[in-house]
Amino acid sequence: MKNFTKLVNFEFNRFLKLYVTLLIIVYGIQTAGVLFHTFKFKKLTNDIVMRGEMTELEFTEMYGVFSMEDFTMSSLYILPIYVGIAAIAFYAFFIWYRDWFAKHTFIYRLLTLPTQRMNIYLAKLTTMLLITLGYAALQIVMIAFHSKLTKWIIPQAFRYDYSLYESVNLTSQYSLVLTGNAFDFFIAYAFILTAIIVIFTAVLFERSYRWKGLVIGIVYAFIIFLLIVVPFTVMFLFYYQPRIYPEEALFIQLGIMLIIVVTSLFISRHLMNKKVSV
Amino acid sequence: MKKYWKTIVAVCFIIATLTIFYVMQYNTTNIYPQLHMQTKQGDEQSVENVVFIGDMFSGVMTHQTFRFEQNETKYLEQEPYTKRMRGYYQPLQIEQLQKEYRSFMRGKLEDVNLFFENETYVAYGAAPYGLWSYNNELFEIALLNKKTNEVTSFTTTIPEYGKYWYVEPYKVFMRENNVMLLTMNERFTSESEDDVAELHVYTFDIEKEELVDETTLTELARYYKDYEHQEIEMIESDKNNEEILIVQTTYNYATDVEEVETSKVVLYNMVTGSLTDVAFDAQLGVPMSFDGDYIYSFKDTKQSIDMTKYDIDKKEVTEELTLQVEPQPYMDAGAYYTVKNNDGKLYIVTSETPFDTFVIDTTTMEVEYEGNIISTGNVNPNIGEEMYIYDVEIR
């Protein structure tokens, strides 16, 4: 356990600088987007209402009120989210390859540590989860902050305030890492965890068998992808006539994911202990 | 310990933020407006078995479907995950059928018009759109004998399906041991012609598992002009499973106020197969309910709904009733409302706040209950918050 904790701390700190930079870029651009849209609207109200061309009511009837939708739909808000998610997904590969391809082949030291090799795997997995959950948690804080920012700039008569829960639920782009409901969150993270584990297994295939392993890894990931989408594919193929009730599709899906996770962990353990070499 | 501080801070931040957010969300039940009945007249028990279904709009993009019954408002978003997966509330009848006959209901479209149920049978008839072609090419017929649990199901090609834009089933019924399907088939026409809707009755022999008869009941023109269009609606009898009223309505919206006129009314008896033209005066309004003997038609103004009870046999209006409704400030025309006929009672609810609600005894044409559905939260249309009720179901 101590070795595992040390490894997690080590892995997390290794990524921290990059991670903080990523978060500053993502949320910096988002905040700039929020400021751009709020001040644009504020200028509009100043130009029209403050000069007496319209009453507040006439203005809101014609232009509507300002709400989070005015900026959450903009590319300045959405794109950074996907850039962040793409960067985290990329790091799921990089967290392994940097050990092999860094200046000093660090994997030598890792694999010769007096600890079970699976601890290295689990530490990397935990780090990936921490990174993803941290990204989601900060998104909640930033949504609250952006909402507050809007309240400071736009007078109440011209804005509509969503609750934090509504704000999180507002647009589907959050649903990849963040949901408005605890059960949805659990489902989303079951997918995310499965995806990370499958990526790790594919990487270990490649590291174990090189070119042959790359092909095995790609085929493995593709088969997993097919397995995951099967229940919903069946459901959606017959969308108008669901042969599988939605709740059945969900339970089949969770069952399949459990099998995938157990199988992948088993394969990864075998590869880590017997096949991976430097 | 000191060297772990960054990781510890990160873990604490994640746990605290996510826990606070989801616990707060779990404890917050009233983030959307809650509704309650406000009785003006009568006993609230009259609406105890009524389920009002509507949408709550907030902002520009967000809307939540809700169900209101027995003074409790439930939003789809707050329902358990498995209930939310469909993205809509299932009709109560479908919910009940799936609960009782889960295996039979598998793979059936969730539309109440496609089912027929009596003491012995549950029958299903549909013309589903093809997976790849988006055409109705096949009929799907299924019959469950509730006593023996025996299921018969088969598909058969829709005769001359290439002639039609679509074939839309409106009613399934049984005559002797045959399953019958009443459909509206929209025929291909040239650009210069009006669209033609053919009403067909298809008869399926369950033992032979084939289509044995096809009857064209009538053809009704329907058109779409700049400011006018015609629609055909079917109203089932509340009292029996035998009769159906076919109503052709013309909608004119040349002015700000939409005018609705009933062009033709036909009564079809599904047991005898007889088709009778009903002498119905367009001045009486739009037929919205029917109980075999009487047609209940409605006309609306900005502040009232005028109801007429029309005796089909005597060909005369027997009773009239005017219901006062709250003016709907955002509508130039009269009120929009939903009408449901069930067990000798008419349930009427206007679509916008304060949701004037009436229960009318159709025998005496007296108002049994009158009230409003009031929101406890602030619903402010000036900032995009609006609530609508668009359907009523009876438990």
Mean pLDDT over B306-314 rounds to 90
Q: What percent of chain B has pLDDT over 90?
A: 36
Q: B277 pLDDT exceeds 60? A: yes
Amino acid at B251: Y
Mutate to test the interface with B, among A1, A9, A19 (most CBs of B within 10 A): A9
Is residue B98 within 8 angstroms of chain A, CB to CB?
Answer: yes
Q: What percent of chain A has pLDDT over 90?
A: 50
Mean pLDDT over A104-126 rounds to 86
pLDDT of residue A240: 53
Interface contact A183-B21, CB threshold 8 A: no
Q: B375 pLDDT exceeds 90? A: no
Tokens (6 digits) for B357: 């609600």
Whether B134 contacts B120, CB under 8 Å: no
State the Cα–Cα distance between residues B66 and B54, nearest whole angstrom. 5
Mean pLDDT over B108-120 rounds to 91
Provide CB contacts within 8 A for A123, sequence distance 6+: A4, A7, A8, A10, A11
B59-102 pLDDT tens trace: 666 778 999 998 889 888 888 888 888 888 999 999 999 999 99
Mean pLDDT over B109-114 rounds to 91
What residues form DSSP beta bridges with B298? B286, B307
Which segment of A149-153, B46-50, B53-57, B251-255 scores lowest on mean pLDDT? B251-255
pLDDT of residue A278: 64
DSSP 8-state secondary structure symbol assigned to residue A228 = H
Mean pLDDT over A119-134 rounds to 95
Question: To 5 degrees, how large is the angle CA B348–CA B352–CA B358?
Answer: 20
Is residue A137 within 8 angstroms of chain B, CB to CB?
Answer: yes
State the Cα–Cα distance between residues A217 and A205, nearest whole angstrom. 6
Residue B263's pLDDT band (cuts 50, 70, 90): confident
Question: Of the candidates B20, B17, B59, which has an alpha carbon nearest to the alpha carbon of residue A150?
Answer: B59
Which segment of B261-270, B311-320, B370-379 scores lowest on mean pLDDT? B370-379
Is residue B378 within 8 angstroms of chain A, CB to CB?
Answer: no
Q: B13 pLDDT exceeds 90? A: yes
Is residue B9 within 8 angstroms of chain A, CB to CB?
Answer: no
User: How many angstroms separate the Cα of A195 from the Cα of each of A188, A189, A192, A210, A260?
Assistant: 11, 9, 5, 21, 10
State the Cα–Cα distance between residues A156 and B115, nearest whole angstrom. 51
Q: CA nearest B64 in A: which residue?
A: A166
State the Cα–Cα distance between residues B56 and B75, nearest whole angstrom. 9
Whether B340 contacts B394, CB under 8 Å: yes
pLDDT of residue A179: 78
Interface contact A160-B58, CB threshold 8 A: yes
Q: A197 pLDDT exceeds 90? A: yes
pLDDT of residue A261: 96
Look-up: residue for tokens 């009403």?
Answer: B199
The mean pLDDT value of chain B amounts to: 86
Q: Which of residues 75-104 of A touch B (CB under 8 A)?
A: none
Contacts of A140 in chain B (CB under 8 A): 17-18, 21
How much is the ipTM here? 0.90
Question: Of the candidates B345, B344, B395, which has an alpha carbon nearest to the alpha carbon of residue B49?
Answer: B395
Provide CB contacts within 8 A for B332, sequence distance 6+: B256, B257
B186-211 pLDDT tens trace: 887 776 677 788 889 999 999 999 99
What's the pTM? 0.82
Q: What percent of chain B has pLDDT over 70?
A: 92
Q: CB-CB: which of A67, A137, A242 is closest to B13? A: A137
Q: CA nearest A56 in B: which residue?
A: B382
pLDDT of residue A104: 67
Mean pLDDT over A106-122 rounds to 86
Residue B179's pLDDT band (cuts 50, 70, 90): very high
Q: Which of A56-70, A193-207, B300-314 tops mean pLDDT?
A: A193-207
State the Cα–Cα distance between residues A89 and A77, nearest whole angstrom. 19
B222-245 pLDDT tens trace: 777 777 888 888 888 877 778 899
pLDDT of residue B210: 92
Q: A27 pLDDT exceeds 60? A: yes
